[in-house]
Structure 1
Amino acid sequence: MYTSQGPISSRCSTGSGPAMIQTHFLGPHPLIRHYLARLNVEGILRSHLPQGRTGALNHGQAICVLVHNILASPGPLYRLENWVAPIEPGALGLTTGQKGAINDDRVGRALDALGSPRAREVWFHLALRTIKQWRLSTERVHFDTTSVTFFGEYTSSVDEPRMDTFFTPGYALIFTRGIGIQLLFFRVLFVFEATNPLRVFLL
């Protein structure tokens, strides 16, 4: 969509003589930056990712630049440095020096940090921020992958799996035989009559 961003500067002729036109590419980036700031994405990432060797950019800033890239003009990481070159640094919330530090290696380190065990709380805090900022009703939107596993003999169990479907407000319980099957349906209860082990997924 925004893969061809044009030259950074060009020459032209005016009534007063030659002139230089300086191009500052903004595109959709101020709008993307507004929502990233409203969600406090950079702050949450900075607080919950191991920083290590970051240089001019912290991991939160690097990942936010990647979000800009994915939303505006997705492409391979090795092209990221060329993609960001003509964009005005302020449109990304960066200084000139920080923009110059953007490359595939830097963003790759940030993605490694995002995949670390310490980053598990990032998604919770982003979801919580989203709920608060847009005042989402959690009566309808609720996602919880907490699971409980039971082991033992059940007198009512049968050899062949049987599924009965019930409707119930607020919860979805899934009983599976052997391999847990995670079916996420709001306000629906699926019951699989099964033998051991019995696995219950709570929403």
Structure 2
Amino acid sequence: MSDLDSLQHRTQFLGPFPILRHYAARLRLREILAAHLPAPPGTRLHPADTLLLLADNIQISRMPLYGLSGWAEPYRPEVLGLTPGAMTALNDDRAARALDTLFDADRASLLTEVVVRAVREFHVDLDRVHNDSTTLTLHGAYRRADGRTVRGKRTVRAALGAQQG
């Protein structure tokens, strides 16, 4: 029996995750998110990991929350940056709780830290950047998107046409 006879071949679908993980690592997204988002004691899946998967999902396929675990299932946990135990904990309830944790966080500080990290890591020339975040197109009925205060924070207000205030 030769050495070649003992070799095994296996195929593993990686998708775009090596690229996404590379840039997330350079931005230190997991560390920044973890520093701003507390994890409940004994949690198997940190909100930072859940939010990174949600961001991956938006970039790749835009699967709804209820389909998140099914979307992630074909991948090995380590491809997604997870442990096997964390992978089994991934579900829509956990994703919703991670989004609630993000809502309650100091998002301005979190976003500032991510932007500063991106500018430094990728040597972004800010003289050449223009951020126009005044327009967001929505589809559907958003009856509760009326600017009310939830848990001490103002929510967004969805309206038709140009609005003042």
TM-score (norm 1): 0.56
Residue among 24, 27, 35 paired with 1:36: 24
Pick which of 74-83 and 45-54 moved more. 45-54
**Does 1:24 pair with 2:5?**
no
The separation in 2 between residues aligned to 1:138 and 1:54, in whole angstroms, is: 42
User: Which of 40, 49, 70 is the equivalent residue of 1:61?
Assistant: 49
SS at structure 1 position matched to 2:117: helix
SS at match of 2:126: coil
Matched residue SS, 2:106 = helix
Question: Within 2, Cα distance between the matches of 1:65 and 1:72?
Answer: 10
| TM-score normalised to structure 2 length | 0.68
Structure 2, unmatched stretches of 5+, are 1-8, 134-163
CA distance in 2, matches of 1:54, 1:122: 24
Superimposed CA distance per residue, residues 89-128 of structure 1 (whole angstroms, 9 cap, x where no aligned partner): 1111111111111111111111111111433311100100
- Does residue 76 of the first structure (1) align with residue 94 of the second (2)? no
In structure 2, distance between residues paired with 1:95 and 1:138: 38
- List aligned pairs for 1:1-203, cutoff 5 A: 23-52=11-40, 55-141=43-129, 179=164
Rounded to whole Å, the distance in 2 between the matches of 1:54 and 1:124 is 29
Q: Kindly provide the amino acid, as one letter, of the partner of residue 88 in structure 2.
A: G
Q: Identity of aligned pairs, percent?
A: 39
1:53 shift after superposition? 5.1
Mean alpha-carbon deviation: is it higher for 117-126 or for 101-110? 117-126
| Partners of 1:49 and 1:114 within 8 A in 2 | yes
Are the structure 2 counterparts of residues 100 and 112 from structure 1 closer, same or farther at C-alpha, using a change threshold of 3 Å?
same
User: Whose Rg is larger?
Assistant: 1
Greater mean deviation of Cα atoms: 85-94 or 50-59: 50-59
User: For residue 69 of structure 1, what is the amino acid of its counterpart?
Assistant: N
Higher relative CO (Cα under 8 Å, sequence separation at least 6) belongs to 2
Distance 1:27 1:131, change over 3 A: same
Deviation at 1:23, TM superposition (A): 5.0
- Deviation of 1:54 after TM superposition, in Å, equals 6.5
AA partner of residue 110 (structure 1): A
The CA RMSD measured in Å over matched residues stands at: 2.5
- Between Structure 1 and Structure 2, which shows a larger proportion of helix residues? 2
